[in-house]
């Protein structure tokens, strides 16, 4: 039996720069309190049938806003120290595999 943490994504499907399709605030619950942690950037993987996943970045301000994204349509971003990990959840006997991703920083690509 293998562990879900043993799975990796091939470099063939990962990008060096990502096309961001949505930006939102990243919050987590601490008891009854909602704590702002940073920003989530939803990106697409063109090499993997345009699958989407979110990359979380701890920062006070976003590299770009949702309004800027809506105005320009698509913005390319480079993520520093990107760490991607698979995870699994079980619901009524069905197992779903997802991707958790964090980065140190997000930078706009000119």
- Give the tens place of pLDDT for each residue, 96-107: 888 889 999 999
The pLDDT score that the predictor gives to residue 1 is 67
Query: What is the chain's mean pLDDT, rounded?
Result: 88
14: pLDDT strictly greater than 80: no
Q: Read off the pLDDT of each residue in 10-24 and give the average, rounded to a whole number.
A: 82
Give the neighbor-by-neighbor strand order of the sheet with 51-57. Answer: 83-91, 94-103, 51-57, 33-45, 18-30, 75-80, 105-108
Predicted TM-score (pTM) of the model is 0.84
pLDDT at 87 over 80: yes
């Amino acid at each position: 039996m293998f562990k879900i943490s043993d799975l990796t994504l091939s470099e063939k499907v990962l990008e060096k720069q990502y096309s961001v399709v949505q930006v939102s605030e990243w919050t987590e619950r601490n008891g009854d309190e909602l704590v702002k942690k940073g920003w989530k950037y939803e990106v697409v993987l063109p090499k993997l049938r345009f699958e989407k996943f979110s990359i979380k970045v701890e920062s006070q301000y976003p590299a770009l806003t949702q309004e800027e994204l809506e105005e320009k349509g698509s913005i390319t971003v480079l993520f520093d120290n990107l760490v991607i990990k698979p995870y699994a959840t079980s619901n009524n006997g069905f197992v779903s595999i997802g991707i958790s991703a964090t980065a140190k920083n997000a930078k706009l690509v000119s």
